Amino acid sequence: MSPTADKPESGREESRKLLRGAGIFGALTGASRALGLLRDMALTAVLSQTARDAFLLAFSIPNMFRNLFGEGALTNSLVPVYVERIEKSDREGANRLASLVFTALALGLGLLALVGGLACLGASCLPGMGAKSVLALKLLAVMAPFLPLVCLYAFFMALLTSHRRFAVPGFAPVLLNVAILAGAFLAWRRYGLGSQDFQSQAAFIIAAAVLLGGALQLAIELPSARGAGVRIRPSLGFRDEAFRSVAAAMAPVLIGTGVYQLNTFLNRIFAWTLAPEPAAQSYLALANLLVMAPMGIVAVAMATAALPTLSSLHARGDKKGFGAALSGAMRMSLFMLIPVSAVLIVSAEPIVSLLYGRGGWRPEETPHMVRVVFWSALALPPTVVTMLAARAFYAMKLPKVPARIALVTVAVNVGLSLVFVLWGGHSAALLEGTRLAARLGGAREASLWLSGAAGLALASTLSATLQMVLTLSALRRERPDLKLGGVAFTALRAAAMCVPTGIFVHWVIMSLPPTGEGFIIVAQRGIAPVLAGVFAYTLVASLLDTAEYREAWRALRGRKRKSADTGKGGKKAGGGEDDDEDDEDEEEEEEAADREKGG
The stretch 204-213 carries a mean pLDDT of 93
Q: Is the separation of the CB atoms in 187 and 205 below 8 Å?
A: yes
Percent with pLDDT over 70 in the chain: 76
State residue 172's pLDDT score.
86
* 398 phi, psi to nearest 5 deg: -125, 60
The highest-confidence range among 275-284, 288-297, 412-421, by mean pLDDT, is 412-421
Dmax (CA) of the chain:
79
Q: Is the separation of the CB atoms in 297 and 29 below 8 Å?
A: yes
State residue 519's pLDDT score.
58
Provide CB contacts within 8 A for 230, sequence distance 6+.
Answer: 95, 98, 156, 159, 160, 163
State residue 361's pLDDT score.
79
State residue 382's pLDDT score.
92
Q: Is the separation of the CB atoms in 377 and 291 below 8 Å?
A: yes
The pLDDT tens digits for 449-465 are 888 888 899 998 999 89
Q: Is the separation of the CB atoms in 467 and 259 below 8 Å?
A: yes
Task: Please state, as a whole number, how many other Cβ atoms lie within 10 Å of the Cβ of residue 126.
Answer: 10
Q: Using the predicted structure, report yes or no on whether residue 231 has a pLDDT greater than 80.
A: yes
- Give, rounded to a whole angstrom, the gap between the first and last alpha carbons of the chain: 30
How far apart are alpha carbons 214 and 6 in whole angstroms?
Answer: 44
Instruction: Give the number of residues written for the chain.
Output: 599
The pLDDT tens digits for 581-593 are 444 444 444 544 4
The pLDDT tens digits for 506-556 are 888 888 766 555 556 666 777 888 888 889 998 998 888 888 888 777 665
How far apart are alpha carbons 356 and 349 in whole angstroms?
Answer: 11
State residue 14's pLDDT score.
58
Q: Using the predicted structure, report yes or no on whether residue 351 has a pLDDT greater than 90.
A: no
> Which of residues 6 and 157 earns the better pLDDT score?
157
The pLDDT tens digits for 381-395 are 998 898 888 888 888
The pLDDT tens digits for 90-110 are 888 888 888 888 998 889 889
Q: Using the predicted structure, report yes or no on whether residue 574 has a pLDDT greater than 50.
A: no
| Residue 328: C-alpha distances to residues 162, 173, 202, 395, 552 (Å) | 19, 27, 46, 16, 11
The pLDDT tens digits for 371-383 are 999 999 999 999 8
DSSP at 166: -
**Among 228, 220, 340, 224, which Cα is nearest to 290's?**
340
Query: Which amino acid appears at position 236 of this protein?
Result: L
Q: What is the mean pLDDT of the chain?
A: 79
State residue 16's pLDDT score.
62
**Among 403, 401, 395, which Cα is nearest to 307's?**
395
Chain CA centroid to CA 214, Å:
18
| Residue 195: C-alpha distances to residues 51, 58, 365 (Å) | 9, 20, 17
